[in-house]
Copies of this chain bind each other. A is one copy, B any other.
Amino acid sequence: MTTDTKTLNPLAFCVRTLLRGGGQVMFQCNAWTGLLFLCGIFWGSYETGSPQVAWGALVGVAASTVAGFLFSNRGCAPTDGEQGLWGFNGILVGCAFPTFMANTWTMWLALVICAMTTTWVRQGFNNVMAPWKINSLTFPFVFMTWLFLWCAREMTGLAPAGMSAPTDEFHVVSAFDSSFGSLVVYWLKGIAQVFLIDSWVTGIFFLAALAVSSWVAAVWAAVGSAIALAVAIIFGVSGASLEEGLYGFSAVLTAIALGCTFYKPNIASAVWCVIGTIVTVFVQAGMNALMAPWGLATLTGPFCLTTWLFLLPRFKMDDRPLPDLSEWNKLND
């Protein structure tokens, strides 16, 4: 991204900002990555008959980015906005709301409110975490969306549609179709589910999107989904969840975060990243059970939690003094 920001016309600047917001979901400050992510989202949401998810993504990334600019002279740093850091939580809110709630005008109003708050909440959470040099990751999205999904149990204006039934009965049926072709599909869906899309084609779009920005990130995404699939099979998770890629998405994000974002890629950090990716599968299963009494999705909570757990010990994995978030955008530019 060598284009000088000052020479961009306003429209191009806006488009680039929004597209980068998509790219930052997987730590890529790259508008082309964001564009390919959106293509994958549109493909997948139309393929699965839920186009409102794709339009939600657009509304969400716009609302959360606008929320940042509204407060840009009161402490919301515009440099964050330019790099897409106001958009990545909002685009995920935009994918999640129409996935789990009925397509009503009150849902869209809540979507806009929730997406906007993520930008402010991100700043607050980052302030909280600053002393330990960690970052809120996608947790503003997770936290605010959980609140609104809980609201869907208490408000007729936010009707559940696509949410699991609340339960405290746990019966695991681990049977699944284990043909090679099916395994490849689950592996690709694991990547697609980062944006809550249940389509293997979208997984290919996403791998291509990552490769445009960083080959290493694409490889770690692929490896992360594969490791998660293997661990999930060995420990016998729900077959239905496995087939929809629901054990992959958090592991994909952990793998990109630990493998090539917060540490320089090398042998030591690769080992650490693999351990972290394996642990993510247990955190995913554990949080699935945790949220069952309300029928809520974990969203990318397992990724956030595991990545924090593996950054907080501050183990030295490379020649840099310590994992330091402020550098991770520079690495991608």
Instruction: Using CB atoms and an 8 Å cutoff, list the residues of chain A in contact with chain B.
Output: 71, 74-76, 106, 110, 113-114, 117, 120-121, 123-125, 127-128, 131-132, 146-151, 153-158, 166-170, 172, 174, 234-238, 268, 278-279, 282-283, 285-290, 292-294, 308-317
Q: What is the distance, in angstroms, from A112's C-beta to the closest C-beta of chain B?
A: 12
| Given A131-B131, A172-B154, A74 contacting B316 (CB threshold 8 A) | yes
The answer to whether B316 touches A235 (Cβ under 8 A) is: no
Query: How far apart are the CA atoms of A90 and B71 in the complex, in Å?
Result: 38
Residues of chain B lying within 8 A (CB to CB) of residue A128: 132, 312
Query: How far apart are the CA atoms of A303 and B311 in the complex, in Å?
Result: 26
Residues of chain B lying within 8 A (CB to CB) of residue A293: 168, 293-294
Pairs A–B under 8 Å by Cβ, sample size 16: A75-B313, A117-B279, A127-B132, A128-B132, A128-B312, A131-B131, A147-B286, A148-B282, A150-B286, A150-B289, A153-B292, A154-B288, A155-B235, A155-B236, A156-B172, A156-B235
The answer to whether B309 touches A76 (Cβ under 8 A) is: no
Residue from A110, A170, A289, A310 having most chain B Cβ neighbours under 10 A: A289
The answer to whether B166 touches A309 (Cβ under 8 A) is: no
The answer to whether A106 touches B315 (Cβ under 8 A) is: no
Q: Which residue of B lies closest to A124 (CB)?
A: B312
The answer to whether A234 touches B316 (Cβ under 8 A) is: no
Residues of chain B lying within 8 A (CB to CB) of residue A285: 150-151, 154-155
The answer to whether A294 touches B168 (Cβ under 8 A) is: yes
Residues of chain B lying within 8 A (CB to CB) of residue A294: 168, 289-290, 292-293
Residues of chain B lying within 8 A (CB to CB) of residue A110: 235, 282
Residues of chain B lying within 8 A (CB to CB) of residue A132: 127-128
Query: How far apart are the CA atoms of A151 and B76 in the complex, in Å?
Result: 39
Residues of chain B lying within 8 A (CB to CB) of residue A279: 113, 117
The answer to whether A313 touches B120 (Cβ under 8 A) is: yes
Query: How far apart are the CA atoms of A158 and B309 in the complex, in Å?
Result: 22
Q: Which residue of B lies closest to A171 (CB)?
A: B153
Residues of chain B lying within 8 A (CB to CB) of residue A235: 106, 110, 151, 155-158
Interchain CB contact (< 8 A) of A75 among B117, B237, B316 = B316
| Given A150-B285, A234-B157, A317 contacting B124 (CB threshold 8 A) | no
Query: How far apart are the CA atoms of A132 and B76 in the complex, in Å?
Result: 17
Q: What is the distance, in angstroms, from A135's C-beta to the closest C-beta of chain B?
A: 14
Q: What is the distance, in angstroms, from A239's C-beta to the closest C-beta of chain B?
A: 10
Residues of chain B lying within 8 A (CB to CB) of residue A236: 106, 155-157
Q: What is the distance, in angstroms, from A289's C-beta to the closest C-beta of chain B?
A: 4
Residues of chain B lying within 8 A (CB to CB) of residue A113: 278-279, 282
The answer to whether A76 touches B313 (Cβ under 8 A) is: yes
Q: What is the distance, in angstroms, from A128's C-beta to the closest C-beta of chain B?
A: 6
The answer to whether A75 touches B315 (Cβ under 8 A) is: yes
